[in-house]
Amino acid sequence: MKKCVFLDRDGVINVDCVDYTYKVDEFTIINGVPEALKLLKEHGYMLVVITNQSGIVKGIYDHADMHACHDYLQKETGHLIDYFYYSPYHEKHTASLSRKPGTLMFERAIARFDIDIQSSWMIGDKERDMLPAKKMGIRTILVPEDGKTTKSSDYMAKDLFDAARFIAEKSD
């Protein structure tokens, strides 16, 4: 079985824009992200992004826009992310079990890649990132959005690099 770090995208990997992040020229990777991803890979973790992308169902952007951002992210970070799972849905438009705080994206990754949940982590910036991981038995690290905390996370970090260092120390 493989150990994995599940990553929320907006607010953890890239700057979360108020009106959605879907244009490559506005996709700003947060400082320290490439180094954090590299550190996690050096410690043997798979990296899987788990992200809600409700702007798709709302008609603000399309799948191609999102994939272009992911391609750009991969290029800028050395293609270290193993897989992207995303939910294009929003509860006001269509119900879906894949949308966080649902667990379906996690379940798909765990089954597909034979992931050991006991040795895996979720890093996110909102409570809805923590809840499905906790339901699955995955340890969680919150990178608080604007200093907002939640009781749902196991640990807190100031950013992805801080979280990656913490995980690396725990895995040694």
Q: Which residues are catalytic?
A: 8, 10
What gap in Å lies between CA 57 and CA 44, rounded to an integer?
Answer: 35
What gap in Å lies between CA 101 and CA 96, rounded to an integer?
Answer: 10
Give the number of residues written for the chain: 172
* DSSP type of residue 30: P
What does each C-alpha distance from 42 to 48, 58, 77, 171 come to in angstroms? 15, 38, 14, 11
Residue 145 burial class via C-beta count within 10 angstroms: exposed 0-12, middle 13-18, buried 19 and up: middle
What gap in Å lies between CA 120 and CA 117, rounded to an integer?
Answer: 5
